[in-house]
A and B are shown apart, each in its own frame.
Chain A
Amino acid sequence: MEDLKLMGLKSHDCHVLMQDLLLVAIREILPKNVRQVITRVCLIFNAICRKVIDPTTLDDLENEAIILLCQLEMYFPPSFFDIMVHLIVHLVREIRLYGPVFLRWMYLIE
């Protein structure tokens, strides 16, 4: 707490942070536009990780992901955009072709 850091996050910790905690933790402390963008990031990952997905909503989800990336570009510095951030665009395509992601993740190993 003294040096204001969040240390030693494992991938599942990040998963939980993204899915639930971050949404609540950023309330009241950020300006409205940035808060909305980060909330959107969380919601996108939440939607991607669902176990049952309605294929008709996938188009909307894909558009949402693109708009989200554009908004991130508006507020965050360019060095924020490494290849990982870019890959969000393509995640929805994989769901469309292969079904929900929980069949494809590697928790047990990690």
Chain B
Amino acid sequence: MLRHAADSPQWKKIDSLYPEFGRNPENLRLGLATDGMNPYGNLSSKHSLWHVLLIIYNLSYWLCMKRKYIMISGPRQLGNDIDVYLSPLIEYLRLLWDEGVDVFDAYEKFNFNLRALLLLTINDFPAYGNLSGYSVKGHHSCPICEENTSYHQLKYGRKTCYIGHRKFLKRNHPYRRLKKAFNGCQEDKTTPPPLTGDKVYNQVSHIELTYGKAVKHSGVKNIWKKKSIFFELLYWSKLDVRHCIDVIYVEKNVCDSIIRTLLNVKGKTKDEINARKDLVEMGVRLELQPHPHGKRTYLPPACHTLSKSKKISFLTACEELRYHKDTLQISKISSQWKI
């Protein structure tokens, strides 16, 4: 059963790679959570504040999430320069790994040598790009698939979409042979192998970057923007997943897209006239193509389109359920959202 990070394969791998570190339960394993936030809310976007939290994973899980933290503040968005601000922290982490520091044990009344290892970082997706040095924009924006990211440039929507998930399916799955329902052809690509730390290190080790605003980019395009400062920690390239994506961030974005598409919120929905034109361009689901009607254009309803009465019933259901949840106190919901 996986209940704690200590049950995970990564933890055991570290134990076997560095046996003298793994043997001592006093050695710390840390997680680093960072995210940008705005100290003035929506009033001023000139300042950005980055908090950096260290989580101690040795503690049992109910203590794990109480943490000590430091803050980084800067006048503007930091981008890749965040490494400069993180360098003192990394220096300490190196010291903690290479030599360790002497710490007094107040319970047993003796000094012992404390060492620490940074296990992972937690961040949302834009911060992922800043910390790891991978460019999370453009065509190959998935840092795990890297060059094997399958993308499709939408002509009318002027966006890149990441479709083609059939390559992750098993070889003999029936979906691989369907044409019309997907993009018009069969899929024969296979699942790309995951990217290891050593491979990343080889790719980034030669990149030299000067920090600051006045950087002229060289002509060579590289999807890795910098050698992340975390590679100064000697064990960093041995870890399987170095940066974790915040699940809540993904959940929020997926939830937003679904709800906006279902409710057809103007300007936010993913299903508008350009999306329909792109479908025609791709040559699939032709029954959904827009029909011009004089000055207006008629979009035939797709399978997820809701009529007005259904939208109302959806929203009332949401509101009633929220009310019941509040009274039952199963879960705390902030009452800020409006229907």
Contacts and interface: CB of A to CB of B under 8 A. Distances in A.
A14 B181 contact: no
A69 B157 CA distance: 21
A26 B303 CA distance: 13
A105 B271 CA distance: 31
Nearest to B311: A4
Nearest to A5: B265
Contacts of A79: 154, 157, 159, 161, 270-271, 274-275, 278
Contacts of A70: 165-166, 169, 175, 182
Contacts, number: 279
Given A9-B256, A82-B161, A96-B9, A75 B1 contact: no
B95 interface: no
A17 B314 contact: no
Looking at chain B's contact residues, the main secondary structure is mixed
A83 B317 contact: no
Size bin of chain A's contact surface: 35 or more
A73 B163 contact: yes
Contact of B278 (A6, A49, A75, A77): A77
Given A20-B331, A55-B2, A66-B168, 14 more contacts: A5-B339, A13-B333, A22-B259, A24-B317, A70-B175, A77-B276, A77-B302, A81-B161, A83-B136, A85-B257, A94-B245, A104-B122, A106-B122, A110-B35
8 tightest Cβ-Cβ pairs between the two chains A and B: A84-B253, A77-B275, A69-B165, A14-B255, A25-B317, A99-B8, A86-B162, A80-B270
